[in-house]
Amino acid sequence: MLEDKHNKVSKIDGEPNELNKIRAPIAVIMGHVDSGKTSLLDKVRKTVVQAREAGGITQHIGASLFPKETIFEISKKLHQGKLNLKTPGILIIDTPGHAAFMSLRTRGASIADIAILVVDLTKGFQAQTFESIETLRRSKVPFVVAANKLDSVGGWKSFDDEPFVNSYKKQNSVIKNRLDNEIYQIMGELSQLNVQSDRYDKIKDFTKNVAIVPTSARTGEGVTDLFMVIAGLTQQYMMKKLTYTDGPGKGVILEVKEEVGLGTTINVILYHGHITPNDIIIISGKNGPIKTKIRALIQPKPLDEIRDPRDKFDNPNIIYAASGMKISAPNLGDAISGGGLYVAENDEHADNLMKEITQELSTVKIDTDEKGIMIKADTLGSLEALITIMKEKGIPIKSADVGDVSRRDVIDASIMAKMEPEYGAILAFNVKMKEDAEELAFQEGVHIFSHPIIYQMIDEYILYMDQIQKDAKADTLSELPKPTKLSHIPQYVFKRSKPMVVGVKILSGELKTGDILINQNNERIGTIHQIKNQDDFVKSATIDQEVSIAVRGPVFGRQFKEGDTLYADIRAKHAYNIITKYLNNITEIEKNTIQEIEKIKKQSGLKYWPFAD
């Protein structure tokens, strides 16, 4: 994080008022995928943010301010109106839960005062739970455990929105013991990490034990207890840290998006100092630091989620940390989600900040391996996560950058595909593909992996890579692809493009999904996306079968015309093995087909095909 070289107290609109002398503590909520992080916040916000997330999983940092009035109101059953809150509320940063987001979570945790580690009570610690704890320990951020899905404990009788301690008293002894055993499991996992813990209502010294709060995002049980514990811990042990120190604002960009009437905007968490509508800001950009002047400073009302506000925004004259906000300004199109935002006091300060951001950005973008996969992502955090997990798995990275997939990216990947087929792919996380880039990718056989949940996208790529490597080692006749030829059945055109769907007859060999089709000029036509035999989708079709095929890439009437004959492309090594070892073991039709493919390759000038007449 950049160091602030100025420590002056701003006189804009006077000194911070009494409320702002104590800033809201920043809490980061962490945990495994599907442990119920966003659902817990939704129970208080009464929003549906979680339901709108892909797979029910938060994929970007989000933020909500829970004001002191809300915390006071929802915890009345516990404090009986005697709670004295000294902070203006709690700002909660909602983070992704999977291991791949470790870097993004670290970015969030580094500005956090306290963390909520959500654990599925019925499943206990999972891989990302351990990694979250490691992140917090490395960042020296204290945390509490929300043992969520209390209502899933067998036999538990739920009481909507009740404090946990009240619901617990109403259970019979068998259910109490069952829950206690689940809590002991969590305590045991923490103990192995040298972390002492206990159920929060049994703890006498919170400096020596991590508090475990049983909760249910579905029924609301324990949510009161959780907020009471967070409020109590921050007030009792962090007031010195929360004492407001004014100065030029520092923040983290959460999201870059287009807004009707505003143009390109950025959603930001301000974690230090203050910011005003007249400030000059320096932000991280795709091509380096961006210096711009704020056009509009917009803030969601309390309890609204900055990514998904249900009510209108406010337009304050000044915002103090810790807060979430939206900023409209010129030249934000290249801003990077996950990058930094800094308020510049003067020209000299701005120049220094730009130099430091340039250095910071240089540590994220890479282009080091001679051979490897290409990755594109929408945010710095996502990019860092992809880089981290690929390196952990020993997968080389040719290039990694923030931004949409372009035609140039596809061309670079197609060159790689010819050298190392398993690396001829692009991992595109939450980014768009230009139409010409997508068509070219399927024509060139460049596989695009895109999934709204990052770890599933990587798993899909690894399966693909393993299959490519297995195919490359194919040697016996049963392992080798069959020389395949097909022809279009005239008048059978079901869809002209995106994908093209036509009827074909298999003249030789076996056509499979994923096969790349070439014509008699060795031009790549596209990739087989689906094969349908009558009413059933199948993985392959063999000689004499008439099937419909969906082909990604071509447009009927352009790259592919009525009555055309095509071939399934085949590796030179595989063709060589068939001709030199198994020519007498294949059918006469397949023999003619492989010889036709050989002729096509030689006529196109490919010298790496090793068999001449």
Instruction: Give 10-residue mean pLDDT values along the chain (613 residues).
Output: 31 40 85 75 67 57 78 80 80 66 55 88 82 78 93 91 93 94 93 93 92 92 91 87 82 81 86 91 88 89 65 80 89 84 91 85 65 84 77 86 87 85 88 81 81 77 83 78 94 90 95 91 88 92 94 87 92 83 89 91 68 43
| Architecture of the CATH domain 24-242 | 3-Layer(aba) Sandwich (3.40)
Q: Could you tell me whether strands 26-31 and 500-508 are parallel, antiparallel, or unpaired per DSSP bridges?
A: unpaired
**For helices 572-581 and 588-603, angle between their N-to-C axes, nearest 10 degrees:** 130
Residue 95 and residue 375: Cα distance in Å, rounded? Answer: 22
| Domain 373-472 sits in CATH 3.90.650.10 | no
Distant-in-sequence, close-in-space partners of 421: CB < 8 Å, separation ≥ 6: 468, 472, 571
What is the Cβ-side half-sphere exposure of residue 403, based on CA atoms within 13 angstroms? 17
Measuring CA to CA, which residue among 294, 342, 374, 380 is closest to residue 103?
380
Nearest 5°: the CA angle 72, 73, 76 is: 80
Helix and strand tally (H, E) in the chain?
Answer: 17, 29
Residue 107 and residue 141: Cα distance in Å, rounded? Answer: 12
pLDDT at 138 (0 to 100):
73
pLDDT at 510 (0 to 100):
94
> DSSP secondary structure string, 332-350?
-TTB-BT-EEEEESSHHHH
Residue 336 token pair: 């990077």
* Superfamily classification of domain 485-603: Translation factors (2.40.30.10)
Q: What are phi and psi of 329, to 5 degrees?
A: -160, 160
pTM comes to 0.66
Tell me, yes or no, if the two domains 250-362 and 373-472 fold the same way: no
Residue ranges per structural domain of the chain: 24-242, 250-362, 373-472, 485-603
Q: For residue 562, what are the CA distances in angstroms to 220, 555, 573? A: 62, 12, 32
Residue 474 and residue 468: Cα distance in Å, rounded? Answer: 10
The 3-state DSSP class for residue 291 equals strand
Torsion angle defined by CA atoms of residues 382, 295, 109 and 99, in that order, rounded to the nearest 10 degrees = -10
Classified by CATH at the fold level, domain 250-362 comes out as Elongation Factor Tu (Ef-tu); domain 3 (2.40.30)
Residue 121 token pair: 């009570």
